[in-house]
């Protein structure tokens, strides 16, 4: 058992290293894009399914409350949290519409639509990105595997090149934390900001 535990940690660590090597410029671009949107008074809409829904909620909380430094709250909403909205859309229309209808309702040009999909091919994430692009929102996709359709359609793609859903999710939350921390530094002019 111990060997298997060590193997899992090594896989996660190695995948993080590969992800940074493949996505460093993209991470910087995402930080810049979100920072500009927030400076302009726009908001971040995050969405995903299953564990990715949990990641969307987690990251929205980091923006709204605080991350590491004390600072004013930042406008972010996880679209996976309102069970009445989600179930009514899924019941009256289709599960593939649960995020796109919410984006039509509250998304505005200049807002950020941040979709998270370990497969890169979740139909409800694809529809949400399509709607967000029509509105004029900035689109970000955090994906796994080969990035799927989502990586091809978003303005900014951060893809974890792995077929292992747990390992992809581990990298996703790490990069989400990095993005939160750097946005805090950029917006609030910390002396140690790079």
What local confidence, expressed as pLDDT, does residue 145 receive? Answer: 97
Q: Which of 63, 90, 67, 80 is nearest to 117 (CA)?
A: 80
pLDDT tens for 79-127 read: 999 999 999 999 999 999 999 999 999 999 999 999 999 999 999 999 9
What local confidence, expressed as pLDDT, does residue 189 receive? Answer: 77
Look at the domain 24-188 and name its fold: Rossmann fold (3.40.50)
DSSP 131-191: HHHHHT-EEEEEEETT-HHHHHHSSEEEEE--S-HHHHHHHHHHHHHHHHHHHHHHHHT-T
Where are the domains positioned within the chain?
24-188
pLDDT tens for 154-186 read: 999 999 999 999 999 999 999 999 999 999 999
**Reading across the β-sheet that carries 112-117, which strands appear in turn?**
76-78, 44-48, 112-117, 138-144, 156-160
What distance, in Å, lies between the first and last C-alpha atoms of the chain?
Answer: 42
pLDDT at residue 190 greater than cutoff 70: no
Q: Which of 107, 101, 147, 158 is nearest to 127 (CA)?
A: 101
Tokens found for residue 59: 């990251």
Residue pair 81/99 in contact (Cβ under 8 Å)? The answer is: no
Mean pLDDT, the chain, as a whole number? 96
pLDDT tens for 40-53 read: 999 999 999 999 99
What local confidence, expressed as pLDDT, does residue 193 receive? Answer: 47
């Amino acid at each position: 058992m111990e060997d298997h535990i060590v193997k899992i940690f090594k896989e996660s660590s190695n995948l993080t290293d590969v992800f940074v090597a493949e996505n460093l410029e993209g991470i910087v671009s995402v930080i810049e894009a979100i920072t500009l949107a927030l400076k302009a008074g726009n908001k971040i809409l995050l969405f995903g399914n299953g564990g990715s829904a949990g990641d969307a909620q987690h990251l929205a909380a980091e923006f709204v409350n605080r991350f590491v430094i004390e600072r004013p709250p930042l406008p972010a909403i996880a679209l996976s949290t309102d069970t009445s909205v989600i179930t009514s859309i899924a019941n009256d229309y289709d599960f593939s519409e649960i995020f796109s209808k919410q984006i039509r309702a509250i998304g505005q040009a200049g807002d950020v639509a941040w979709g998270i999909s370990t497969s890169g091919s979740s139909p409800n994430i694809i529809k949400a990105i399509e709607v967000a692009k029509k509105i004029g929102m900035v689109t970000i996709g955090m994906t796994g595997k080969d990035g799927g359709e989502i990586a091809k359609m978003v303005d900014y793609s951060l893809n974890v090149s792995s077929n292992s859903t747990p390992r992809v999710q581990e990298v996703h939350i790490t990069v989400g934390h990095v993005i939160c921390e750097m946005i805090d530094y950029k917006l609030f002019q910390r002396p140690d900001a790079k």
